[in-house]
């Protein structure tokens, strides 16, 4: 599903803007908290950005790509996210878009001083993300168990909301029930799968991650404590009296 939020016509054309706003509502409305839709439409309308809702990606929830060779900037957001995680991820990527737009405009101004590109999640992004999230920081948008955790996260937002264990934990409570469990909730030496692929064994904690041994390759990985994993069932004890069957040949 793709929604291209740009037009080659002058932005003053009101019918085009109205049609664009309706299109945004039809695509994003069902994926967002109802009280956030109007502000999302206001933030996006008229922005030269291509917005695409995509299927689940294990490595990221959203992504931003700047304009390149005449193509508009592009934002992608995973479609499997619950409404609150979807909103946070969308605004996260919009903040990247705004920072990139500001940087591009600054380059067009005459100056003898070279303009340095902002860091991906540096000061400029943090300030823009905080500013864009302000309209949503109320109990009409976020449940009371998420709101204070989100406000605390925004004091110094990380590169990903999943990197903040408190926020990722309360957001996951809004997901439909599934077989996953947070890695930090597993006992030491538990065996689990990550994204249904390779098999790992949990070892000691290293700051915000756990050292895990991949049983397929014997390589060691550091996995986020909040990563959703599926535990292998523990081996069942053999029934009493059971033994090795032998036969004479």
Mean pLDDT, 10 residues at a time, over the chain (249 residues)?
Answer: 48 63 91 96 85 87 89 93 97 96 83 78 96 97 97 93 86 89 92 87 93 94 88 63 40
CA angle 144, 148, 153 (to 5 degrees): 140
Contact 201, 193 (CB under 8 A): no
CATH code of 181-231, in short, is 2.30.30
Closest CA to 183 of 232, 235, 234, 224: 224
Report d(CA 154, CA 88) in Å as an integer: 11
Please report the pLDDT score of residue 144 as a whole number: 96
Please report the pLDDT score of residue 3 as a whole number: 56
Please report the pLDDT score of residue 238 as a whole number: 52
Report d(CA 233, CA 180) in Å as an integer: 13
Determine the length of the chain.
249
Domain range annotation of the chain? 2-110+117-172, 181-231
How many helical (H) and strand (E) elements, i.e. helices and strands, does the chain have? 6, 10
Please report the pLDDT score of residue 9 as a whole number: 47
């Amino acid at each position: 599903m793709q929604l291209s939020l740009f037009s080659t016509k002058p932005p003053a054309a009101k019918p085009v803007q109205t049609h664009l706003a309706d299109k945004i509502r039809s695509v994003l409305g069902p994926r967002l908290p109802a009280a956030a839709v109007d502000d999302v439409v206001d933030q996006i309308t008229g922005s030269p950005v291509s917005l695409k809702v995509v299927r689940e990606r294990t490595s990221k929830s959203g992504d931003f790509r700047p304009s390149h060779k005449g193509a508009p900037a592009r934002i992608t957001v995973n479609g499997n996210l619950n409404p609150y995680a979807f909103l946070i991820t969308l605004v996260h990527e919009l903040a990247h878009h705004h920072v990139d737009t500001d940087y591009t405009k600054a380059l067009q101004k005459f100056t003898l001083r070279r303009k340095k590109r902002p860091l991906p999640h540096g000061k400029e992004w943090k300030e823009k993300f905080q500013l864009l999230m302000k309209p949503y920081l109320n109990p009409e948008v976020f449940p009371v168990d998420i709101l204070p955790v989100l406000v605390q996260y925004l004091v110094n937002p990380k590169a990903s909301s999943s990197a903040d264990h408190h926020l990722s934990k309360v957001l996951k409570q809004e997901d439909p029930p599934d077989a996953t469990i947070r890695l930090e909730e597993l006992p030491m030496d538990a065996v689990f799968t990550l994204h249904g692929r390779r098999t790992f064994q949990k070892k000691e904690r290293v700051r915000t991650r756990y050292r895990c041994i991949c049983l397929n390759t014997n390589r060691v990985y550091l996995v986020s404590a909040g990563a959703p994993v599926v535990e292998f069932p523990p081996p069942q004890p053999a029934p009493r009296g059971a033994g090795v069957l032998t036969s004479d040949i």
